[in-house]
Amino acid sequence: MSENRRTNDPEGVRRRIVDAAYDAFVTQGYLATGMLELRERASVSGGAMAHHFAVKRDLGLAVIRDRVSEAVRQTWIEPFHTGTNAPAAIDSIFESIIGGLTQNGRVSGCPLNNMAMEISQHDAEMRGAVSAVFGAWHEALSDSFETDVKENRARELNPQSLATLVIASYSGAMAMAKARQDVSPLIECRAELAALLAAKYR
Amino acid sequence: MSENRRTNDPEGVRRRIVDAAYDAFVTQGYLATGMLELRERASVSGGAMAHHFAVKRDLGLAVIRDRVSEAVRQTWIEPFHTGTNAPAAIDSIFESIIGGLTQNGRVSGCPLNNMAMEISQHDAEMRGAVSAVFGAWHEALSDSFETDVKENRARELNPQSLATLVIASYSGAMAMAKARQDVSPLIECRAELAALLAAKYR
């Protein structure tokens, strides 16, 4: 019966595997997680796992394309569609991430950066999947800065390099916070970014 | 004869192992590297390896404390002792790192951040070793900003949070550069940091 339910719902099985993999890759790392452990976490048979993901790398690609990109969209892209301007959106994103981590009491890091640091320099397809997520994130930020300039809210600024600085400083601060298990690098970066953006806005 | 040389020079053997481990951890990652591979890379016997490093974690700690901290000291701490002010030192550090990567044609990332991202949240001793290196780096930067304020070169600035922003944005830009195998995130961060620091200096 349970075997039937599995074979009759391949999409559900796939989703369960990718959910379990996302959770494991984010909390303990891609390289540190084995396929057997993922089968157990997702409660799927060896046959079902092999049907959907022959090797861990395929699952890594699915996690980046389906889950990591969605996490970045929800956390870092959507707020720019509703915010009044880029600095306000950035500040509220930092506020909600810092609040979440403080409540959680544990810093597992940024899902995208965790995956980015673990993939091999020599795997062009995985690099491409990670780059596409960075690209969408960067575009949301630079578009928002550009709109602010066009609509006369911002003074002179370079939307491209400023977007890179925001993403880089957030990513680096999260890595420091993870290494120290302490949110203060994020709090300090939030303050410095707010001040530097305020100087560029009217 | 060769076996004699090994046993008569335990420091040399240890150094050879740590050198091989540093090289492997930086280029392919800590988790992806096995002890057997390291024995082969360092050309040491199983007995010699076991004598110096019983488990990979001990070798990870030695790499962080001996090699990663030294790399950070040479690249990111020493220039502050000879530079005219903090922004000039930071800009020349970015210049030399970008130049090196461009010449190298390959971005393997920041040794400290690579290790920081790979260590477990639950290993307090490794977290402590990584935090100590981040701490020494942060102190060199914040001391340099403080001196610039005291000697009236800089206007109002917060040495602590500004040091965090510089380290975080460099680390994040290096992670983006590694993921994309492209130095442009570092070039953009260098430009944004130079402009933001110039506004704080006389």
CATH number at residue B45: 1.10.10
- B201: helix, coil or strand? strand
Whether A168 and A81 share a structural domain? yes
- Whole-number average pLDDT of chain A: 91
The verdict on residue B7 lying in a domain is yes
Domain count, chain A: 2
Cross-chain CB nearest to A189 (options B117, B131, B168):
B168
Residue A26: list chain B partners with CB under 8 A. Answer: none
Are B156 and B133 found together in one domain?
A: yes
Do B149 and B86 contact (CB within 8 A), yes or no? no
Residue of B nearest to A131 (CA): B180
Interface size between A and B, measured as CB pairs under 8 A: 154
CA B41 to chain centre: 22
Nearest to B169 among A160, A165, A179 (CB): A165
Cβ separation of B165 and A192 shorter than 8 Å?
yes
| Chain A closest-CA separation from residue B200 CA (Å) | 10
User: How confident is residue A4, by pLDDT bands cut at 50, 70 and 90?
Assistant: very low
- Encode pLDDT of A152-201 as tens digits: 999 889 999 999 999 999 999 999 998 888 999 999 999 999 999 999 99
- Report the pLDDT averaged over residues A77-86: 91
Same domain flag for B48 and B136: no
What is the pLDDT averaged over residues A123-141?
A: 94
Same domain, yes or no: B111 and B150: yes
Domain boundary among B34, B54, B74: B54
CA angle, residues A95, A116, A96, in degrees to nearest 5: 10
Nearest chain A residue to B196 by CA distance is A196
Q: What's the rounded mean pLDDT across residues A133-148?
A: 96
DSSP B154: B
> Does one domain contain both B27 and B94?
no
Same domain assignment for residues A101 and A196 = yes
Least confident window among A31-35, A55-59, B37-41, B164-168 = A31-35
Which of B127, B134, B175 lies closest to A117 in CB terms? B175
Q: Does residue B60 belong to any structural domain of this protein? A: no
**Single-letter code of the amino acid located at A180:** R
Q: Which of A160, A173, A192 sits opposite B188 (nearest CB)?
A: A160
Specify whether B82 is located in the same domain as B146. yes
pTM, two decimals, is 0.91
Query: Taking a C-beta distance cutoff of 8 angstroms, is the pair B52, B61 a contact?
Result: no
B167 closest CB neighbour out of A28, A172, A193: A172
Residue A9 has pLDDT above 90, yes or no: no
Residue B59 in domain: no
Amino acid, single-letter form, for residue B54 = A
Q: Which tokens belong to A190? A: 């939030």
Domain boundary among the residues B54, B73, B93 is at B54
* Dihedral sign of CA atoms B31, B37, B39, B43 in order: negative
Nearest chain B residue to A116, by CA = B179
**For residue A172, which of B167, B143, B11 has the smallest C-alpha distance?**
B167
Question: Of B119, B121, B172, which has the smallest distance from its Cβ to A171's Cβ?
Answer: B172
Do B97 and B121 share a domain, yes or no? yes
What does the pLDDT read at residue B77? 96
pLDDT of residue B4: 46
Which residues of chain B have a pLDDT value below 50?
A: 1-4, 6
For residues B40 and B76, state if they share a domain. no
- What is the per-residue pLDDT for A1? 42
The pLDDT of residue A42:
96
Same domain, A13 and A83: no
Q: What is the pLDDT of residue B107?
A: 86
> Is A121 in contact with B106 (Cβ distance < 8 A)?
yes
Largest CA distance in chain A: 65
Mean local confidence (pLDDT), A53-62:
95
> What distance in Å separates residue A81's CA from the closest CA in chain B?
24
CATH number of the CATH domain containing B117: 1.10.357.10
Dist. CA A67–CA A41, nearest whole Å: 17
- Residue A33 sits in the same domain as residue A100: no
Yes or no, beta carbons of B175 and A180 under 8 Å apart: no
Handedness of CA A15, A26, A53, A38 (dihedral sign): negative
Task: Give the integer Cα–Cα distance in Å for B13 and B6.
Answer: 6
pLDDT at A7: 54
Asked whether the beta carbons of residue A178 and residue B116 sit closer than 8 angstroms, the reply is: yes
B31 and B97 in a single domain? The answer is no
Task: Please give the pLDDT value at position A125.
Answer: 94
Task: Verify whether the Cβ–Cβ distance A179 to B131 is below 8 Å.
Answer: yes
Question: What range does the domain containing A37 cover?
Answer: 1-54
Residues of chain B found within 8 Å of residue A134, distances taken between Cβ atoms: 176, 179-180
Residue pair A158/A73 in contact (Cβ under 8 Å)? The answer is: no
ipTM: 0.90
C-beta atoms of A134 and B176 within 8 A: yes
Structure confidence at residue B202 (pLDDT): 84
Q: Per-residue b/e over B111-136, b at no fewer than 16 CB within 10 Å? A: bbbbbbbbbebeeeebbebbbebbee
